[in-house]
Amino acid sequence: MKSYQSKNKVHLAVDCIIIGFSEDKLELLCIKRDFEPFHGQWSLMGGFMTHEETLDEAAKRVLKKLTGLDDIYMEQLPAFSTIDRDPVERTVSVPYFALINSEDFKDKLIDKYSAHWFSIEELPNLIFDHSHMVAAALKRLRARTTTKPIGFELLPERFTMLQLQSLYEAILDRKLDKRNFNTKVMAMDILYRLPEKETNTSKKGSYLYRFDKDAYIQKMEEGLRFKLEFNSI
Amino acid sequence: MKSYQSKNKVHLAVDCIIIGFSEDKLELLCIKRDFEPFHGQWSLMGGFMTHEETLDEAAKRVLKKLTGLDDIYMEQLPAFSTIDRDPVERTVSVPYFALINSEDFKDKLIDKYSAHWFSIEELPNLIFDHSHMVAAALKRLRARTTTKPIGFELLPERFTMLQLQSLYEAILDRKLDKRNFNTKVMAMDILYRLPEKETNTSKKGSYLYRFDKDAYIQKMEEGLRFKLEFNSI
């Protein structure tokens, strides 16, 4: 039934969909390929899994090589295995999506990969089936807003309610009702309101919040006890 | 960064976690291996992906070979890629779980694989990391009850509310409050109550229901508009 014939073997790759958030927009980190095929074209950051590592380890290695970052939340998406997706040799790719705070580490990017952040709304053409991988990651991210908290990885440590709402609006791709958003988000029970206010954007100032990291992690694992459904305006 | 060296190549397998429901219990379909390694031991039904098919196609082929069934709902789970999981050669396996009505096709099983249904509560030892795959499938199934309808694939065409409740109890592994269950399930808006009653189990009889297939499929795709949380008794 099974037979270990080398003719069945394939290359197994990982590709990282690295999503950030800056100036009210979701962003995607792309690299310019400096090798064939598709030299000079935009691509996700990827690499082959070696025999000395698992898929998760390969994805972490690839992410670290590009960003210098360790210890990032990553989630595996279903594998892409169309027969001719890679014109050189049969390659199955397992996409991982990572959420990071893009502002925090813009200067840490490794120059040699010509990495660049693109707004999700203005992505360049990507090689292979990479745009389908991005679409799958965005769909997963959107679904996650209804059952799990989101934002911890994408926002600065202290943020205003408006920033959090902008993040959800960017993920869900629609404007949300402010009062309904506040109520729903506070019901998640993962936010601290800080004593200080942010006063750059309005004279009255806006309260700053931070995530209760333990509660956040717990709810990431368990899921929320209710389904979040935000009202549009 | 990437390099197509044959030393990186691996075997890519699919393994099917085939789940059924019979006499108030979830069941798992296992086969007895008739080849090495682990000859004579219990295993999930699996096989290698070939160069002529995608992962989904390989999973369908494997499922059909064992059950004769086409057109079954299958869902891909994250890949298992521990380095030494297969003692013969480096093999990464992508598990798929399938839900089927085990009563419907017990006689269709292909004899030569010595296939056998085991109650989930009394599983034999499985080879490789197959018991971890089963655990991952059950976890995914449990999570699905909160956001999507479930049962269509596992129940006969007409069923009583008690049968549906038994299915949810088997998946969630706890007893549920009957009245709360009825209310929550009817709110999903995917059930028809039929004019006839089932009268084998009580003198008064129990209403029979069937799924509104279109509504069911639509809610499978979109997810429910609320999160289902059932009360235990």
Residues 6+ apart with CB under 8 A from B220: B148, B149
Element (DSSP H or E) covering residue A179: helix A178-187
Is there a contact between B79 and A55 if contact means CB atoms under 8 Å apart?
yes
Residue A50 C-alpha, separation from nearest chain B C-alpha, in angstroms: 5
At A226, list the tokens.
């209710």
Residue of B nearest to A53 (CA): B83
Residues 6+ apart with CB under 8 A from A163: A155
Q: How many CB pairs under 8 A join A and B?
A: 121
pTM of this structure = 0.90
Confidence (pLDDT) at B203: 77
Q: What are phi and psi of A227, to 5 degrees?
A: -95, 125
Q: Which domains can be identified in chain B, with CATH numbers?
A: 9-145 (3.90.79.10), 151-221 (1.10.10.10)
pLDDT of residue A166: 95
Beta-bridged to residue A232, according to DSSP, are A176
User: Could you say which residues from 184 to 203 on chain A have a Cβ atom under 8 Å away from some Cβ of chain B?
Assistant: none
Inspect the interface and report whether the beta carbons of A81 and B56 lie closer than 8 Å. Answer: yes
What the block records as the tokens of A191 is: 């936010």
Each residue's pLDDT expressed in tens, for chain B with a length of 233 residues: 567 888 889 999 999 999 999 889 999 999 999 888 899 999 999 999 999 999 999 999 999 988 888 888 899 999 999 999 999 999 999 999 999 887 776 666 666 678 899 999 999 999 999 999 999 999 999 988 888 888 888 999 999 999 999 999 999 999 999 999 999 899 889 999 999 888 877 778 899 999 999 999 898 888 777 676 777 77
> What does chain B look like in DSSP terms, one character per residue?
-----GGG-BEEEEEEEEEEEETTEEEEEEEE--SSSSTTSEE-EEEE--TTS-HHHHHHHHHHHHH---S--EEE-PPB--TTSSSSS-EEEEEEEEE--GGGGGGGS-GGGT-EEEEGGGPPPBSTTHHHHHHHHHHHHHHHHHHS---TTTS-SSEEHHHHHHHHHHHHTS-B-HHHHHHHHHHT--EEEEEEEE-SS-SS-EEEEEE-HHHHHHHHHH--SS---PPB-
The pair of three-digit structure tokens given for residue B122, joined into one six-digit string: 């009394």
Residues of chain B numbered 146-165 and touching chain A (CB < 8 Å): 146-147
Taking only the tens place, the pLDDT of each residue in A109-123 is 666 678 899 999 999
Residue with tokens 């549920």: B176
Its ipTM equals 0.88
